[in-house]
Structure 1
Protein backbone atom coordinates (compact mmCIF):
# COMPACT_ATOMS: atom_id res chain seq x y z
CA UNK A 1 0.00 0.00 0.00
CA UNK A 2 2.82 2.41 0.89
CA UNK A 3 4.48 1.67 -2.46
CA UNK A 4 1.22 2.28 -4.33
CA UNK A 5 0.67 5.61 -2.59
CA UNK A 6 4.25 6.65 -3.36
CA UNK A 7 3.80 5.83 -7.04
CA UNK A 8 0.53 7.82 -7.08
CA UNK A 9 2.23 10.83 -5.52
CA UNK A 10 5.04 10.65 -8.06
CA UNK A 11 2.53 10.45 -10.90
CA UNK A 12 0.61 13.47 -9.62
CA UNK A 13 3.77 15.53 -9.12
CA UNK A 14 4.96 14.67 -12.62
CA UNK A 15 1.66 15.73 -14.22
CA UNK A 16 1.98 19.05 -16.12
CA UNK A 17 0.37 22.05 -14.46
CA UNK A 18 -2.84 23.31 -16.04
CA UNK A 19 -2.07 26.56 -17.89
CA UNK A 20 -4.01 29.60 -16.66
CA UNK A 21 -7.21 30.41 -18.51
CA UNK A 22 -7.69 33.49 -20.61
CA UNK A 23 -9.86 35.02 -17.91
CA UNK A 24 -7.27 34.35 -15.22
CA UNK A 25 -4.55 35.93 -17.36
CA UNK A 26 -6.79 38.92 -18.07
CA UNK A 27 -7.37 39.40 -14.34
CA UNK A 28 -3.63 39.32 -13.73
CA UNK A 29 -3.16 41.86 -16.51
CA UNK A 30 -5.80 44.18 -15.07
CA UNK A 31 -4.07 44.22 -11.67
CA UNK A 32 -0.78 45.08 -13.37
CA UNK A 33 -2.53 47.80 -15.39
CA UNK A 34 -4.02 49.30 -12.23
CA UNK A 35 -0.57 49.46 -10.66
CA UNK A 36 0.86 51.24 -13.73
CA UNK A 37 2.95 48.28 -14.91
CA UNK A 38 1.74 48.61 -18.48
CA UNK A 39 4.32 46.49 -20.36
CA UNK A 40 3.68 43.54 -18.03
CA UNK A 41 -0.06 44.11 -18.27
CA UNK A 42 0.14 44.07 -22.06
CA UNK A 43 1.96 40.75 -21.95
CA UNK A 44 -0.81 39.23 -19.82
CA UNK A 45 -3.60 40.63 -21.98
CA UNK A 46 -1.96 39.31 -25.14
CA UNK A 47 -1.49 35.92 -23.52
CA UNK A 48 -5.15 35.95 -22.47
CA UNK A 49 -6.27 36.71 -26.03
CA UNK A 50 -4.08 33.90 -27.32
CA UNK A 51 -5.35 31.43 -24.71
CA UNK A 52 -9.00 32.34 -25.36
CA UNK A 53 -9.25 33.87 -28.85
CA UNK A 54 -12.98 34.62 -28.53
CA UNK A 55 -12.52 36.56 -25.27
CA UNK A 56 -13.39 40.10 -26.36
CA UNK A 57 -12.28 41.80 -23.14
CA UNK A 58 -8.71 40.50 -23.47
CA UNK A 59 -8.40 41.94 -26.99
CA UNK A 60 -9.91 45.21 -25.81
CA UNK A 61 -7.58 45.50 -22.83
CA UNK A 62 -4.58 44.82 -25.07
CA UNK A 63 -5.70 47.63 -27.38
CA UNK A 64 -6.21 50.05 -24.48
CA UNK A 65 -2.85 49.23 -22.92
CA UNK A 66 -1.10 49.77 -26.24
CA UNK A 67 -2.89 53.11 -26.35
CA UNK A 68 -1.37 54.04 -22.98
CA UNK A 69 2.11 53.00 -24.11
CA UNK A 70 1.65 55.05 -27.26
CA UNK A 71 0.77 58.11 -25.18
CA UNK A 72 3.94 57.52 -23.19
CA UNK A 73 6.01 57.68 -26.37
CA UNK A 74 6.86 53.97 -26.36
CA UNK A 75 5.53 53.27 -29.85
CA UNK A 76 8.59 51.54 -31.25
CA UNK A 77 9.48 49.64 -28.09
CA UNK A 78 6.11 47.91 -27.83
CA UNK A 79 4.78 48.17 -31.42
CA UNK A 80 2.08 50.54 -30.22
CA UNK A 81 1.23 51.58 -33.78
CA UNK A 82 -2.19 52.88 -34.61
CA UNK A 83 -2.99 50.00 -36.97
CA UNK A 84 -2.01 47.43 -34.31
CA UNK A 85 -4.26 49.07 -31.72
CA UNK A 86 -7.12 49.22 -34.22
CA UNK A 87 -6.69 45.58 -35.17
CA UNK A 88 -7.10 44.48 -31.56
CA UNK A 89 -9.97 46.88 -30.93
CA UNK A 90 -11.77 45.79 -34.10
CA UNK A 91 -11.45 42.16 -33.02
CA UNK A 92 -12.90 43.04 -29.60
CA UNK A 93 -15.87 44.85 -31.17
CA UNK A 94 -16.49 41.99 -33.61
CA UNK A 95 -16.62 39.56 -30.69
CA UNK A 96 -18.70 41.86 -28.46
CA UNK A 97 -20.40 44.92 -29.92
CA UNK A 98 -20.67 46.46 -26.43
CA UNK A 99 -16.93 47.11 -26.51
CA UNK A 100 -17.49 49.92 -29.02
CA UNK A 101 -19.64 51.88 -26.59
CA UNK A 102 -16.90 51.62 -23.98
CA UNK A 103 -14.26 52.62 -26.53
CA UNK A 104 -16.06 55.87 -27.34
CA UNK A 105 -15.24 57.32 -23.92
CA UNK A 106 -11.98 55.48 -23.17
CA UNK A 107 -9.15 58.01 -22.90
CA UNK A 108 -6.60 55.24 -23.53
CA UNK A 109 -7.81 55.13 -27.13
CA UNK A 110 -7.62 58.86 -27.88
CA UNK A 111 -4.60 58.25 -30.11
CA UNK A 112 -6.67 56.47 -32.77
CA UNK A 113 -9.69 58.76 -33.05
CA UNK A 114 -8.29 60.41 -36.18
CA UNK A 115 -7.86 57.18 -38.16
CA UNK A 116 -9.90 55.56 -40.90
CA UNK A 117 -10.11 52.41 -38.80
CA UNK A 118 -11.85 54.24 -35.97
CA UNK A 119 -14.21 55.95 -38.39
CA UNK A 120 -15.08 52.57 -39.89
CA UNK A 121 -16.02 51.31 -36.43
CA UNK A 122 -18.37 54.30 -36.20
CA UNK A 123 -19.93 53.37 -39.55
CA UNK A 124 -18.12 55.80 -41.87
CA UNK A 125 -16.17 54.26 -44.74
CA UNK A 126 -14.38 55.61 -47.83
CA UNK A 127 -16.49 53.22 -49.88
CA UNK A 128 -19.42 55.61 -49.39
CA UNK A 129 -19.03 58.85 -51.34
CA UNK A 130 -21.37 60.60 -48.92
CA UNK A 131 -18.87 59.94 -46.12
CA UNK A 132 -15.89 61.46 -47.93
CA UNK A 133 -16.26 65.05 -46.61
CA UNK A 134 -16.53 63.87 -42.99
CA UNK A 135 -13.60 61.48 -43.39
CA UNK A 136 -11.40 64.23 -44.79
CA UNK A 137 -12.09 66.41 -41.74
CA UNK A 138 -11.88 63.77 -39.00
CA UNK A 139 -8.86 61.81 -40.24
CA UNK A 140 -5.27 63.05 -39.98
CA UNK A 141 -3.52 62.62 -43.34
CA UNK A 142 0.21 61.92 -43.47
CA UNK A 143 2.66 61.80 -46.34
CA UNK A 144 5.14 58.90 -46.68
CA UNK A 145 8.23 58.68 -44.51
CA UNK A 146 11.59 59.99 -45.65
CA UNK A 147 14.28 57.83 -44.05
CA UNK A 148 15.18 58.74 -40.49
CA UNK A 149 13.14 61.95 -40.76
CA UNK A 150 9.82 60.09 -40.85
CA UNK A 151 6.77 61.88 -42.15
CA UNK A 152 7.65 65.28 -43.62
CA UNK A 153 4.22 66.51 -44.73
CA UNK A 154 0.63 66.27 -43.59
CA UNK A 155 -2.75 67.69 -44.53
CA UNK A 156 -5.40 68.80 -42.03
CA UNK A 157 -8.83 69.47 -43.49
CA UNK A 158 -10.99 71.79 -41.40
CA UNK A 159 -14.54 73.10 -41.31
CA UNK A 160 -15.54 75.83 -43.72
CA UNK A 161 -13.46 74.54 -46.62
CA UNK A 162 -10.14 75.37 -44.96
CA UNK A 163 -7.05 73.15 -45.17
CA UNK A 164 -3.52 73.37 -43.77
CA UNK A 165 -0.40 71.84 -45.25
CA UNK A 166 2.28 71.00 -42.68
CA UNK A 167 5.81 70.44 -43.97
CA UNK A 168 9.16 69.68 -42.41
CA UNK A 169 12.23 70.41 -44.53
CA UNK A 170 15.73 69.39 -43.47
CA UNK A 171 18.67 71.60 -44.45
CA UNK A 172 22.17 70.44 -45.34
CA UNK A 173 23.21 70.47 -41.68
CA UNK A 174 20.37 68.12 -40.77
CA UNK A 175 18.34 70.79 -38.99
CA UNK A 176 14.58 70.44 -39.52
CA UNK A 177 12.44 73.47 -40.33
CA UNK A 178 8.65 73.27 -40.05
CA UNK A 179 6.10 75.33 -41.94
CA UNK A 180 2.31 75.53 -42.03
CA UNK A 181 0.53 76.83 -45.10
CA UNK A 182 -3.21 77.58 -44.94
CA UNK A 183 -5.37 77.04 -47.99
CA UNK A 184 -8.85 76.03 -49.11
CA UNK A 185 -10.44 72.90 -50.53
CA UNK A 186 -13.62 71.67 -52.19
CA UNK A 187 -15.05 68.15 -52.46
CA UNK A 188 -17.14 66.62 -55.23
CA UNK A 189 -17.79 62.92 -54.81
CA UNK A 190 -14.33 61.40 -54.36
CA UNK A 191 -12.57 64.36 -55.96
CA UNK A 192 -10.73 66.80 -53.70
CA UNK A 193 -9.36 70.11 -55.00
CA UNK A 194 -6.79 71.91 -52.84
CA UNK A 195 -5.75 75.54 -53.37
CA UNK A 196 -2.60 76.81 -51.66
CA UNK A 197 -1.21 80.37 -51.92
CA UNK A 198 1.07 80.95 -54.87
CA UNK A 199 0.29 77.60 -56.50
CA UNK A 200 -2.19 76.31 -59.05
CA UNK A 201 -5.11 74.26 -57.69
CA UNK A 202 -4.30 70.56 -57.29
CA UNK A 203 -6.95 67.88 -57.76
CA UNK A 204 -6.77 64.49 -56.05
CA UNK A 205 -9.01 61.61 -55.05
CA UNK A 206 -9.85 59.60 -51.95
CA UNK A 207 -9.94 55.96 -53.06
CA UNK A 208 -12.29 53.32 -51.69
CA UNK A 209 -9.24 51.80 -49.99
CA UNK A 210 -8.67 55.04 -48.09
CA UNK A 211 -5.67 56.49 -49.93
CA UNK A 212 -5.70 60.22 -50.61
CA UNK A 213 -3.66 60.88 -53.75
CA UNK A 214 -2.64 64.11 -55.48
CA UNK A 215 -0.19 64.76 -58.32
CA UNK A 216 3.34 65.68 -57.24
CA UNK A 217 4.64 67.68 -55.53
CA UNK A 218 1.74 67.24 -53.09
CA UNK A 219 1.73 63.45 -53.52
CA UNK A 220 -0.04 60.76 -51.54
CA UNK A 221 -1.42 60.65 -48.00
CA UNK A 222 -2.72 57.97 -45.64
CA UNK A 223 -3.87 57.94 -42.01
CA UNK A 224 -0.60 56.35 -40.81
CA UNK A 225 2.42 58.47 -39.89
CA UNK A 226 5.86 57.06 -40.57
CA UNK A 227 7.18 55.68 -37.28
CA UNK A 228 10.20 53.65 -36.22
CA UNK A 229 11.75 53.71 -39.70
CA UNK A 230 15.50 53.85 -40.11
Structure 2
Protein backbone atom coordinates (compact mmCIF):
# COMPACT_ATOMS: atom_id res chain seq x y z
CA UNK A 1 0.00 0.00 0.00
CA UNK A 2 2.84 2.39 0.87
CA UNK A 3 4.48 1.82 -2.51
CA UNK A 4 1.20 2.61 -4.31
CA UNK A 5 0.76 5.88 -2.36
CA UNK A 6 4.32 6.94 -3.17
CA UNK A 7 3.84 6.15 -6.88
CA UNK A 8 0.58 8.08 -6.97
CA UNK A 9 2.27 11.08 -5.33
CA UNK A 10 5.08 11.09 -7.89
CA UNK A 11 2.60 10.99 -10.76
CA UNK A 12 0.60 13.84 -9.22
CA UNK A 13 3.69 16.06 -9.03
CA UNK A 14 4.62 15.24 -12.63
CA UNK A 15 1.25 16.19 -14.10
CA UNK A 16 1.57 20.03 -14.09
CA UNK A 17 4.90 19.93 -15.93
CA UNK A 18 3.55 17.45 -18.46
CA UNK A 19 0.42 19.57 -18.97
CA UNK A 20 2.52 22.69 -19.54
CA UNK A 21 4.69 20.89 -22.08
CA UNK A 22 1.64 19.69 -24.02
CA UNK A 23 0.03 23.15 -24.02
CA UNK A 24 3.25 24.81 -25.19
CA UNK A 25 3.68 22.26 -27.97
CA UNK A 26 0.10 22.82 -29.16
CA UNK A 27 0.65 26.57 -28.92
CA UNK A 28 3.70 26.43 -31.20
CA UNK A 29 1.85 24.21 -33.69
CA UNK A 30 -1.00 26.73 -33.80
CA UNK A 31 1.47 29.60 -34.17
CA UNK A 32 3.14 27.93 -37.17
CA UNK A 33 -0.30 27.47 -38.73
CA UNK A 34 -1.04 31.17 -38.08
CA UNK A 35 -3.99 30.16 -35.93
CA UNK A 36 -3.28 32.96 -33.48
CA UNK A 37 -6.41 32.66 -31.30
CA UNK A 38 -5.59 28.99 -30.65
CA UNK A 39 -1.93 29.76 -29.98
CA UNK A 40 -2.98 32.39 -27.43
CA UNK A 41 -5.38 29.94 -25.82
CA UNK A 42 -2.69 27.26 -25.37
CA UNK A 43 0.01 29.60 -24.07
CA UNK A 44 -2.45 31.16 -21.64
CA UNK A 45 -3.41 27.65 -20.52
CA UNK A 46 0.22 27.02 -19.59
CA UNK A 47 0.50 30.32 -17.72
CA UNK A 48 -2.55 29.55 -15.60
CA UNK A 49 -0.72 26.67 -13.99
CA UNK A 50 2.86 27.93 -14.51
CA UNK A 51 2.88 31.77 -14.52
CA UNK A 52 6.68 31.95 -14.75
CA UNK A 53 7.03 29.53 -17.68
CA UNK A 54 9.63 31.28 -19.87
CA UNK A 55 8.62 29.50 -23.08
CA UNK A 56 4.91 30.36 -22.77
CA UNK A 57 5.55 33.98 -21.74
CA UNK A 58 7.95 34.55 -24.61
CA UNK A 59 5.85 32.91 -27.32
CA UNK A 60 2.66 34.56 -26.15
CA UNK A 61 4.51 37.89 -26.48
CA UNK A 62 5.54 36.89 -30.01
CA UNK A 63 1.93 36.03 -30.89
CA UNK A 64 0.68 39.38 -29.62
CA UNK A 65 3.48 41.12 -31.56
CA UNK A 66 2.45 39.43 -34.82
CA UNK A 67 -1.12 40.63 -34.29
CA UNK A 68 0.19 44.13 -33.53
CA UNK A 69 2.04 44.12 -36.86
CA UNK A 70 -1.34 43.43 -38.49
CA UNK A 71 -2.83 46.41 -36.62
CA UNK A 72 -4.73 44.10 -34.27
CA UNK A 73 -3.71 45.57 -30.93
CA UNK A 74 -6.33 43.81 -28.83
CA UNK A 75 -3.95 42.98 -25.98
CA UNK A 76 -1.90 46.17 -25.73
CA UNK A 77 1.78 46.79 -26.34
CA UNK A 78 2.48 47.09 -22.61
CA UNK A 79 1.30 43.51 -22.12
CA UNK A 80 3.92 42.31 -24.63
CA UNK A 81 6.70 43.96 -22.64
CA UNK A 82 5.43 42.48 -19.38
CA UNK A 83 5.46 39.00 -20.92
CA UNK A 84 8.98 39.49 -22.29
CA UNK A 85 10.22 40.66 -18.91
CA UNK A 86 8.75 37.57 -17.23
CA UNK A 87 10.36 35.34 -19.86
CA UNK A 88 13.77 36.98 -19.40
CA UNK A 89 13.53 36.75 -15.62
CA UNK A 90 12.97 32.99 -15.86
CA UNK A 91 15.40 32.48 -18.75
CA UNK A 92 17.96 35.31 -19.28
CA UNK A 93 18.97 33.91 -22.70
CA UNK A 94 15.75 35.35 -24.13
CA UNK A 95 17.22 38.87 -23.71
CA UNK A 96 19.54 38.34 -26.68
CA UNK A 97 17.07 36.17 -28.63
CA UNK A 98 14.41 38.87 -28.84
CA UNK A 99 16.81 41.23 -30.65
CA UNK A 100 16.83 39.02 -33.75
CA UNK A 101 13.41 37.33 -33.54
CA UNK A 102 11.38 38.17 -36.66
CA UNK A 103 8.12 37.75 -34.74
CA UNK A 104 9.08 40.84 -32.72
CA UNK A 105 10.20 42.93 -35.71
CA UNK A 106 7.40 45.48 -35.32
CA UNK A 107 8.75 46.41 -31.87
CA UNK A 108 12.42 46.72 -32.83
CA UNK A 109 12.27 50.50 -33.13
CA UNK A 110 10.40 51.09 -29.86
CA UNK A 111 12.06 52.56 -26.77
CA UNK A 112 10.48 50.09 -24.33
CA UNK A 113 11.51 47.08 -26.42
CA UNK A 114 15.17 48.10 -26.40
CA UNK A 115 14.96 48.91 -22.71
CA UNK A 116 13.65 45.40 -21.97
CA UNK A 117 16.54 44.01 -24.04
CA UNK A 118 18.98 45.81 -21.75
CA UNK A 119 20.16 48.43 -24.26
CA UNK A 120 21.67 51.60 -22.75
CA UNK A 121 19.52 54.73 -22.97
CA UNK A 122 22.02 56.65 -25.12
CA UNK A 123 22.21 53.75 -27.58
CA UNK A 124 18.42 53.44 -27.71
CA UNK A 125 18.31 56.99 -29.08
CA UNK A 126 20.13 55.78 -32.21
CA UNK A 127 18.00 52.65 -32.65
CA UNK A 128 14.73 54.54 -32.82
CA UNK A 129 13.25 56.74 -35.55
CA UNK A 130 11.65 59.69 -33.79
CA UNK A 131 8.40 60.67 -35.48
CA UNK A 132 6.38 63.85 -35.39
CA UNK A 133 2.56 63.81 -35.45
CA UNK A 134 0.54 62.11 -38.20
CA UNK A 135 -2.22 64.61 -38.99
CA UNK A 136 -3.55 62.81 -42.06
CA UNK A 137 -3.14 60.04 -44.60
CA UNK A 138 0.49 60.95 -45.34
CA UNK A 139 1.80 59.60 -42.04
CA UNK A 140 4.27 61.54 -39.85
CA UNK A 141 5.17 64.88 -41.42
CA UNK A 142 8.67 64.99 -39.95
CA UNK A 143 11.20 62.81 -38.12
CA UNK A 144 14.66 62.63 -36.57
CA UNK A 145 17.24 59.85 -36.86
CA UNK A 146 20.37 59.90 -34.69
CA UNK A 147 23.65 58.10 -35.38
CA UNK A 148 26.21 56.86 -32.87
CA UNK A 149 28.85 59.19 -34.36
CA UNK A 150 27.05 62.22 -32.90
CA UNK A 151 25.21 63.30 -36.06
CA UNK A 152 21.52 63.43 -36.90
CA UNK A 153 19.25 63.87 -39.91
CA UNK A 154 15.96 65.72 -39.72
CA UNK A 155 13.48 65.21 -42.58
CA UNK A 156 10.12 66.77 -43.16
CA UNK A 157 7.41 66.52 -45.79
CA UNK A 158 6.27 69.66 -47.58
CA UNK A 159 3.73 70.45 -50.25
CA UNK A 160 4.98 72.14 -53.41
CA UNK A 161 2.97 74.45 -55.62
CA UNK A 162 0.25 72.34 -57.20
CA UNK A 163 -0.05 70.08 -54.16
CA UNK A 164 2.79 67.65 -54.91
CA UNK A 165 4.40 66.10 -51.83
CA UNK A 166 8.15 66.73 -51.40
CA UNK A 167 10.72 66.00 -48.72
CA UNK A 168 13.47 68.16 -47.25
CA UNK A 169 16.46 66.94 -45.23
CA UNK A 170 18.64 68.81 -42.73
CA UNK A 171 21.81 67.53 -41.05
CA UNK A 172 23.31 68.40 -37.71
CA UNK A 173 25.20 67.36 -34.58
CA UNK A 174 24.14 66.42 -31.07
CA UNK A 175 25.97 66.32 -27.74
CA UNK A 176 24.93 64.83 -24.41
CA UNK A 177 24.44 66.76 -21.19
CA UNK A 178 22.83 64.01 -19.09
CA UNK A 179 21.04 60.70 -19.77
CA UNK A 180 17.80 62.68 -20.01
CA UNK A 181 18.97 65.76 -21.85
CA UNK A 182 21.16 66.66 -24.82
CA UNK A 183 21.59 69.42 -27.37
CA UNK A 184 21.24 69.51 -31.15
CA UNK A 185 22.70 71.95 -33.62
CA UNK A 186 21.83 72.12 -37.30
CA UNK A 187 24.59 72.63 -39.87
CA UNK A 188 24.40 75.25 -42.64
CA UNK A 189 20.64 75.53 -42.79
CA UNK A 190 17.72 74.84 -40.50
CA UNK A 191 13.94 74.69 -40.91
CA UNK A 192 13.71 76.89 -37.80
CA UNK A 193 16.00 79.72 -38.91
CA UNK A 194 15.70 82.46 -41.44
CA UNK A 195 18.24 82.68 -44.28
CA UNK A 196 21.60 83.96 -43.10
CA UNK A 197 20.78 83.57 -39.42
CA UNK A 198 23.45 81.84 -37.35
CA UNK A 199 22.58 78.36 -36.14
CA UNK A 200 22.14 77.85 -32.42
CA UNK A 201 22.05 74.85 -30.13
CA UNK A 202 18.67 73.62 -29.02
CA UNK A 203 18.02 71.66 -25.86
CA UNK A 204 16.29 68.27 -26.08
CA UNK A 205 14.49 66.58 -23.19
CA UNK A 206 14.73 62.82 -23.58
CA UNK A 207 12.20 60.73 -21.67
CA UNK A 208 10.79 57.26 -22.24
CA UNK A 209 9.77 57.12 -25.90
CA UNK A 210 9.53 60.92 -26.27
CA UNK A 211 11.70 63.84 -27.38
CA UNK A 212 10.81 67.45 -26.56
CA UNK A 213 12.95 69.72 -28.74
CA UNK A 214 13.34 73.42 -28.10
CA UNK A 215 11.54 75.65 -30.68
CA UNK A 216 9.52 72.77 -32.14
CA UNK A 217 5.77 73.08 -31.61
CA UNK A 218 5.29 69.33 -31.25
CA UNK A 219 7.03 66.42 -29.57
CA UNK A 220 8.58 63.39 -31.29
CA UNK A 221 7.85 59.79 -30.33
CA UNK A 222 9.04 56.28 -31.19
CA UNK A 223 5.74 55.44 -32.90
CA UNK A 224 4.79 56.28 -36.47
CA UNK A 225 1.12 55.68 -35.65
CA UNK A 226 0.97 53.72 -38.90
CA UNK A 227 -2.27 51.88 -38.08
CA UNK A 228 -4.28 55.08 -37.88
CA UNK A 229 -2.93 56.52 -41.15
Task: State the distance in 1 between where 2:214 and 2:79 align.
Answer: 30
Tell me by how many angstroms 1:54 deviates.
1.7
Instruction: Find the counterpart in structure 1 of residue 111 from structure 2.
Output: 116
Instruction: Find the counterpart in structure 2 of residue 165 from structure 1.
Output: 154
TM superposition score normalised by structure 1: 0.68
Contact kept, 8 Å, 2:99 with 2:108, in 1: the verdict is no
Task: State the distance in 2 between where 1:216 and 1:188 align.
Answer: 18
Tell me by how many angstroms 1:155 deviates.
1.0
TM superposition score normalised by structure 2: 0.68
1:62 pairs with one of 60, 63, 78:
60
Contact kept, 8 Å, 1:168 with 1:176, in 2: the verdict is no
Give yes or no for the alignment of 1:193 onto 2:184: yes
How many residues align? The count is 201
2:172 pairs with one of 184, 189, 192:
184
Task: State the distance in 2 between where 1:23 and 1:178 align.
Answer: 55
1:101 pairs with one of 82, 96, 101:
96
1:202/1:48 CA distance change after superposition, 3 Å? farther
Contact kept, 8 Å, 1:139 with 1:223, in 2: the verdict is yes
Structure 1 residue runs of 5 or longer lacking an equivalent are 1-19, 127-131
Instruction: Find the counterpart in structure 2 of residue 204 from structure 1.
Output: 203
1:161/1:101 CA distance change after superposition, 3 Å? closer
Instruction: Find the counterpart in structure 2 of residue 13 from structure 1.
Output: none
Task: State the distance in 1 between where 2:55 and 2:34 align.
Answer: 19
Structure 2 residue runs of 5 or longer lacking an equivalent are 1-17, 194-198
Task: State the distance in 1 between where 2:200 and 2:40 align.
Answer: 47
1:204/1:48 CA distance change after superposition, 3 Å? farther
Tell me by how many angstroms 1:177 deviates.
3.0
1:86-97 alignment to 2 at 5 Å?
Answer: 86-97=81-92
Tell me by how many angstroms 1:108 deviates.
1.9
Question: What is the aligned-residue RMSD (CA, Å)?
Answer: 3.5
